Amino acid sequence: NKAASNNYLDIILIVLFCVGYFMFRIVKTAIKQQSEKSKISKSILEFNKSLKEFMLTQHDSTPVKILDEIKVKGFTPDTTTFNTMIDTYICSGKNSFVENTLELMGENDCSQDIITYNTLIKGKCREIDGSNSKDEVLEEAFLIQRKIEETGLKSNLITWNCLLDCTLKIRNLKKTEELIENMIRNRCEPDDITYGTLLKGVRYQRCFSKKLEILDLIKKLVASQPESRVEEKRALISAYFLCRKVYEATEIYQELKEEDFDQFTLRVLLKGFGEFKKLSNVIEIQERFDFDTYTFSYLLNALVKCGKACEAKKTIISNDQYSTVNCTIAIKGLSDQGFYDEAYEL
């Protein structure tokens, strides 16, 4: 019995060893395959990053030729490859190649993702600038957005921002309002680009009443947010200044918390208060905060616009900020205000 027991134990140990050995081989093979996939993935990723530069050197090369070149280099194109090709063709004004690239994308079993659709919408936005049928191009952009929903994908913030830019470029505020309502309905959180696009739209408008309409849309979008971030406050201040509502902009400024005063917000305030010659506000900001190099130039510009070019010169000297930009701002201000000797000295 004892001998039989030992034999069984030996058999069990041999079986366990064999199982362990085969498991080790399986895991090792899987790790090796994963490592090879990772290398290939990393390799195509690095190639995709340099693809745009490569394409720009291949003057008037068709998508087929570009694809052949990619395959000759030993790479299998993926969705990012085709997205980069589409973006490069759009940016270089070769829109006729975009449709062909989309066809090749399907032939190479690469599905279109949200980046593909956003790139196409961005292309329509660029196309609007030089088009004689802007409304038709806008409708094409919205057709692409509808296709996003039909394919089961979801429009993201980049989609909304591109479409907003399209509508504002052709001053179609009805479509702009529809987009804002869709963003609110889809709980899409706006960013600085969203607000920057809307503010750019205010500048596009020749009619003052239209500027006020966009201001109302900005207020509506801000009000829909669960909490008021510094981005919202900054956007409202900018919008009020653009619409000559200095009192409302000043009210928000006075309500800002200490942590809200980043360099971007300070630039908006200095630009606005300088534009409307609110010297007391400019001086208050100057005394309260420290500025980076870029914001410092905004301070000088605000002082000059308030008729205080000499103060701008003193500020440069006391802070030892003798950059070309800063000195140019002060010298022009001194000259315009009749302080020629001061300008010459600086």
pLDDT in tens, 291-305: 999 999 999 999 999
pLDDT at 8: 67
CA-closest candidate to residue 168, choices 131, 189, 194: 194
pLDDT band with cut points at 50, 70 and 90 for residue 14: confident
pLDDT at 7: 66
- On average, the pLDDT of the chain sits at 87
CA-closest candidate to residue 157, choices 132, 182, 174: 182
pLDDT band with cut points at 50, 70 and 90 for residue 42: very low
Judge contact between 114 and 153, C-beta under 8 A: yes
In this structure, the chain runs to a length of: 346
Name the token pair of 270: 């200095």
pLDDT at 36: 40
**Percent of the chain at pLDDT exceeding 70:** 90
Quick one: average pLDDT of 312-327?
Answer: 95
Farthest CA pair distance, the chain:
117
Confidence check: pLDDT of 19 > 90? no
Task: Please state, in angstroms and rounded to a whole number, the distance separating the CA atoms of residues 290 and 312.
Answer: 16
Confidence check: pLDDT of 144 > 70? yes
Rg (the chain; Cα; Å): 30
Judge contact between 105 and 83, C-beta under 8 A: no
Rounded to 5 degrees, what are φ and ψ at 323?
Answer: -85, 160
pLDDT band with cut points at 50, 70 and 90 for residue 27: low
pLDDT at 63: 86
If one compares 303 and 85, the residue with the highest pLDDT of the two is: 303
Quick one: average pLDDT of 50-73?
Answer: 79
pLDDT at 160: 94
Quick one: average pLDDT of 93-115?
Answer: 89
pLDDT at 37: 41
pLDDT at 293: 94
pLDDT, tens digit, 9 for 90 and up, residues 197-244: 999 999 988 899 999 999 999 999 999 988 888 999 999 999 999 999
CA-closest candidate to residue 101, choices 77, 88, 82: 82
In single-letter form, the type of residue at position 225 comes to: Q
Q: Please list, in sequence order, all residues whose beta carbon lies within 8 angstroms of the beta carbon of residue 88, skipping any fewer than 6 positions away.
A: 51, 52, 55, 56
pLDDT, tens digit, 9 for 90 and up, residues 172-192: 999 999 999 999 998 889 999
pLDDT, tens digit, 9 for 90 and up, residues 245-294: 999 999 999 999 888 899 999 999 999 999 999 999 999 999 999 999 99
User: What is the 8-class DSSP label of residue 96?
Assistant: G
CA-closest candidate to residue 183, choices 147, 225, 143: 225
Three-point CA angle 345, 266, 305, nearest 5°: 40
Task: Please state, in angstroms and rounded to a whole number, the distance separating the CA atoms of residues 194 and 188.
Answer: 11
pLDDT at 59: 67
pLDDT at 70: 80
If one compares 286 and 39, the residue with the highest pLDDT of the two is: 286
Task: Please state, in angstroms and rounded to a whole number, the distance separating the CA atoms of residues 227 and 324.
Answer: 41
Confidence check: pLDDT of 67 > 70? yes
**Percent of the chain at pLDDT exceeding 90:** 60
Judge contact between 213 and 176, C-beta under 8 A: no
CA-closest candidate to residue 149, choices 159, 140, 136, 135: 159
CA-closest candidate to residue 287, choices 260, 320, 311, 307: 311
pLDDT at 43: 60
Name the token pair of 90: 């759009």
Out of 66-70, 87-91, 257-261, least confident range: 66-70
Confidence check: pLDDT of 163 > 80? yes
